[in-house]
Structure formats: structure tokens, C-alpha cells
Chains A and B, each alone.
Chain A
Amino acid sequence: MSDASGPTGPAAGPVSIDLARERAESGIDVYLAELDTSLIGLAPVKARIAEIASLLLVSRVRERLGLATTKPTLHMSFTGNPGTGKTTVAKTMAEVLHRLGYTRTSRLITVSRDDLVGEYIGHTAPKTKEVLKRAMGGVLFIDEAYYLYRAENERDYGQEAIEILLQVMEDNRDDLVVILAGYADRMEHFFSSNPGFRSRMAHHIEFPDYSDRELVAIGELMLREQNYRLSPAAEATFAEYVALRRRQPHFANARSVRNALDRAKLRQAERLVNSGVVSVEALSTIEREDILVSRVFDDNQPES
């Protein structure tokens, strides 16, 4: 970028900016690429993250050139079902924010209500402030943030934590970015009851559930990393499993897939041990029956 020269005044300065070079120099592409490969699917989320990264890049350049009048708001909310990649994306966000100079470090601190709220009177403020001390300079990720607010209990200490958070977010300090995460409907209810939060959010990102196909692909990736594979018959059964499982309660996307595969591995092991002599290849193969055993396939009983 060329140095500022020419007549004085806010309009003076370089005529053009090489944003591609700015982007390359910032080093954020490494993290965006990593996000691409480590998370399957999530196309709308990834697109949104790329957009936000561009916005942050442009904001930084504008600020540097003296064009910006206020600092950008950086806090965000991530809504969606469990197991949809919110924490992974938060980590990427922390790196991007750091690389673009919005935070001093790429540290991500993950907390939930219990980390912020005390059990007795007077315990909450120090607890929340302790967390904030450690989080400053990075990103604070509050999981299931709505649990801070218990409308039915007026003396709930969560209110104190909420107040402290709102103040920290309002001061728009450069030192802390807050990401609130949780189920979409409950988050909506939380924002309605605590409107101060909504106004401080710069971005709301929805994390849709994975498609059946994506979940199967995630499962296969998990198995591959552990040096297991599904037999061709097992592949088909697993796809059926996923379709059935998602209609049942407490479905947690990738997490549910991981749990299911862990159970399949248990059943495989038992099956093999009872067989006596097995081929080495069999040790790494999950067969159809290992999955079929799941209660998901019983018509009557829901999977717990």
C-alpha cells in the first residue's frame, strides 16, 4: 500500500488498496481453509463466516485509512442444535479476529452458566469477573447462555452475571468478543427477555442440522480417523439409522453420530471375541449387525 501523500484533509491518501494482498498478509485463509476441510457440509455457515471475515478485513482497512467513525461491533450469536459445529466455528472466528488485529490473542474461553454464576449471595460478581479477566484479549464463548436468565426466580443470581456481561459488551472494549450459543428458540426467548443483548450483537449465525448424507459422511470420517471402516452393507444400514435417529428426541447431530459409532464398535468387539479366530481385516470392519442391534430399529422404543 502506498503512503499517504497529496493535499491535507480526510480525503487525502492512497487512491487504491490491494485487498487481495491485505487478505494474504493477514494469514486468515489458513484458518478458513481448515474450517472447510474439518467440518463437513455447513455450506451456509461457512459462507457467512467468509462474509464476516471480509467485513472485518474491510473494516480494519477503513479504520487504518481514517474512514471509520466508530469501531465495529464484534459480538455474535450462534444458534442451532447441539453437535452442529458451533464450537469449531468459534475457534476459527477467534483466529480470524486475532489475525485481523481485533483481539490481542486467538484465545477462546468456553463457559456456561455454572462458570459465571455463584450459588450464594455475593459469589457471582467475582466469579464472572474472574472469567472475564481470563477471557479478555480473546473470545468468550458462552454455551446455552439462556440459562443465565431464570424468569421464574427473581432472586436468581444469574441476573448479576447478565448485568456485568452487558456492561462489558456495551463498553465495546477492543479486548473482548462475546459469542452466545444455544438452541435457536430458547435464544430467541432469552433475547426477548433481555433486549440489551440483541442490540449488542453484530451477527447472528444459524447452524442448521446436518443432512442425513452429511451425517453419514461425518460418521465415515470419524471411523477413518480411527482406522475403522463400514462394510458396504453396514453403510446402507447406517444411513437408515441416521434417518431414524434424527426423528427421535435429543438428537445432537455429529455428537449423536459419534455416540452411535462408539456403541457399534463395542458390539463389533463383542461379536469378534465370541467368534474366536478372526481375520485381521475384520478387526477394522463394522458390519451391518453391529448397527442393526440398535434400539432405534425397534418400532416401539425410543433411543435414549
Chain B
Amino acid sequence: MRLTQGAFSYLPDLTDDQIEAQVNYCIDHGWAVSIEYTDDPHPRNTYWEMWGMPMFDLASARPVLDALQACREAFTDHYIRIGAFDSEKGWESLRLSFIAQRPAVEPGFQVVRSNGPGRQINYTTRSYATDQPPEQRYRDV
């Protein structure tokens, strides 16, 4: 399957030039840019691991691209996303979030059903990846 979190997941995976353009958009707005990675892309997993701290006061996308490259080399089979934080009063949250790397194979999610009262079903979404311990996820079996 293809995880479609983030603002551009329905488009072909972004090239580095496209990523640079998006990062430039963010720093032109004065937003802090962050890089995060995870091997558990469950939709409710809010806290991916941070690759370094969010970068404030940037004038160039280069530091972000360098950091992204380092993150890719360290975690070749993880999801990596780039986010932009806006500290403006009344927002104080993210303005943009998009995926910058995805593992070669994405096994996706399972819906587990259990019976509730009446015709109700209780649903649990499980990430197939988390069946395996961390180092062994996303291996091509």
C-alpha cells in the first residue's frame, strides 16, 4: 500500500529539488523546519522521532537538505517527514507536513474487529510493520 499522510502523498515522490522548493517556502514564511522519522506510521502515532531539533532562523534550505540526507543514510527504511512550525499568535502549530522518504515496501495496516453490543463492532487499526521488532521492520521477506 502507499501511506498517504502528508500534504503531497498523492503526487509522485518528491525530488530533492521539489523538497528544496517546499523548504524555501517554509523559511520564507519564517517557519521553523523539522525532520522526523518513524517505522510505525499508524495514523494516531503523533510523535515520530526527531532528527535533531527544529531549525529556526534559516535563510537557506541547504541545512535542511543536508540533515535530510544524513537522516536518510541513517534510516534507509523508515518513513521521514518534514514539518514546518508557525509560532504566530492564534496558530502556534504546524503549517505544512509532507513525506520525504518512504520504505521500499509498505505493508500497511490491518483492521481488527471485535464484537460490541448490538450490531456494533469495535475497530482496532494495526500496523503490520509493528509485528516485527524495530530492527526487522520493512525487511523484504
Contact = CB atoms under 8 A, between A and B. Distances in A.
Interface of A: 103-105, 107, 132-138, 173, 175-176
Contacts of A104: 24, 59-60
A76 B57 CA distance: 24
A167 B118 CA distance: 69
A133 B55 contact: yes
A112 to B, nearest CB: 19
B29 interface: no
Contacts of B27: 137
Contact of A107 (B59, B61, B63): B59
Interface in B77-93: none
Contacts of A136: 58-60, 62-63
13 contacts: A103-B59, A104-B59, A105-B60, A133-B58, A134-B57, A134-B58, A135-B59, A136-B60, A137-B27, A137-B62, A173-B62, A175-B60, A175-B62
Interface string B20-38: 0000100100000000000
B121 to A, nearest CB: 50
Contacts of B57: 134
Given A104-B59, A136-B58, A137-B59, 17 more contacts: A104-B60, A105-B59, A107-B59, A132-B63, A134-B57, A134-B59, A136-B59, A136-B63, A137-B27, A137-B58, A137-B60, A137-B61, A137-B62, A138-B60, A175-B60, A175-B62, A176-B62
A224 B61 CA distance: 44
Q: Which residue of B24, B57, B59, B61 has the most chain A CB atoms within 10 A of its CB atom?
A: B59
Contacts, number: 33
B140 to A, nearest CB: 35
Nearest to A139: B59
Interface string B107-140: 0000000000000000000000000000000000
A133 B24 contact: no
A173 to B, nearest CB: 6
A103 B61 CA distance: 12
List of 9 A-B pairs having minimum Cβ-Cβ separation, nearest first: A137-B59, A137-B60, A136-B60, A133-B63, A175-B60, A105-B59, A175-B62, A107-B59, A136-B62
A59 to B, nearest CB: 20
A134 B33 CA distance: 13
Contacts of A132: 63
Contacts of B24: 104
A133 B61 CA distance: 9
A138 B57 CA distance: 12
Contacts of A138: 59-60
A199 B61 CA distance: 27
A184 to B, nearest CB: 30
Nearest to B55: A133
B90 to A, nearest CB: 26
A262 B60 CA distance: 41
Contacts of A133: 55, 58, 63
Contacts of B63: 132-133, 136
A276 B61 CA distance: 63
A136 B27 CA distance: 12
Interface in B32-64: 55, 57-63
Contacts of B61: 137
Nearest to A171: B62
A91 to B, nearest CB: 15
A138 B63 CA distance: 13
A136 B59 CA distance: 6
A176 B63 CA distance: 11
Nearest to A105: B59
A246 to B, nearest CB: 39
Contacts of B62: 136-137, 173, 175-176
